[in-house]
């Protein structure tokens, strides 16, 4: 009869997984702290001051929305160059991103979708724009569908 007790080995594994998760959590918290800081730059802020009031309520991807995107191009080019959570930041788009970039990107998409809540997060639209593989697009859809409930932040 084997008398080996796996408890210690299992607990060691559980603690290592917890340590790795905490490392990822710390990295995500730091990304949240500095998210989109470039929007306060002299290049981006004046453009956003002009665009944001006109963006509210526009359907994502609609012709008026795309007109504003074209108008914001100089600021967007700077923004993409300084923020790795945008596919445009990477030479090979989504394929150049890591999982932390993807998580921040999805949180960014979710927050942006709140400007026009009837839109929701348009994963299918973004999958076409950014050539997101079907399997990854489905994972993103699954994540949005299972989004944890949160407290609405104060205004």
Q: What is the dihedral of CA 66, 141, 80, 87, to 10 degrees?
A: -110
pLDDT-above-70 percentage for the chain? 97
Runs of H (alpha helix) within the chain:
7-34, 45-55, 63-71, 73-82, 99-113, 123-130, 134-145
Averaged confidence pLDDT in the chain: 94
Residue range 79-113, pLDDT digits in tens: 999 999 999 999 999 999 999 999 999 999 999 98
Q: What is the band of 152 on the pLDDT scale with cuts at 50, 70, 90?
A: low
Q: What would the two tokens of residue 55 be?
A: 């963006």
Neighbours of 85 (CB within 10 A): 21
Interatomic CA distance for residues 96 and 94, integer angstroms: 5
**Where do the domains of the chain lie?**
19-145
> 31 vs 57, which has greater pLDDT?
31
Q: Specify whether the CB–CB gap between 94 and 87 falls below 8 A.
A: yes
Q: CA-CA distance, 59 to 61, in Å (whole number)?
A: 6
Q: Residue 152 is encoded by which pair of tokens?
A: 């609405």
């Amino acid at each position: 009869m084997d008398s080996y007790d796996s408890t210690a080995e299992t607990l060691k594994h559980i603690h290592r997984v917890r340590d790795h998760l905490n490392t990822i959590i710390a990295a995500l918290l730091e990304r949240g702290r500095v998210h989109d800081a470039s929007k306060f730059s002299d290049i981006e802020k004046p453009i956003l001051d002009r665009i944001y009031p006109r963006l509210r309520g526009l359907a994502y991807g609609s012709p008026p929305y795309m007109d504003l995107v074209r108008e914001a191009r100089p600021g967007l080019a700077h923004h993409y160059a300084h923020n790795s959570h945008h596919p445009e930041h990477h030479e090979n788009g989504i394929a150049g991103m890591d999982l932390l970039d993807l998580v921040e990107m999805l949180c960014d998409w979710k927050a942006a979708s709140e400007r026009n809540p009837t839109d929701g997060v348009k994963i299918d639209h973004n999958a076409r724009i950014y050539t997101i593989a079907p399997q990854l697009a489905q994972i993103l859809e699954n994540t949005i569908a299972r989004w944890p409930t949160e407290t609405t932040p104060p205004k």
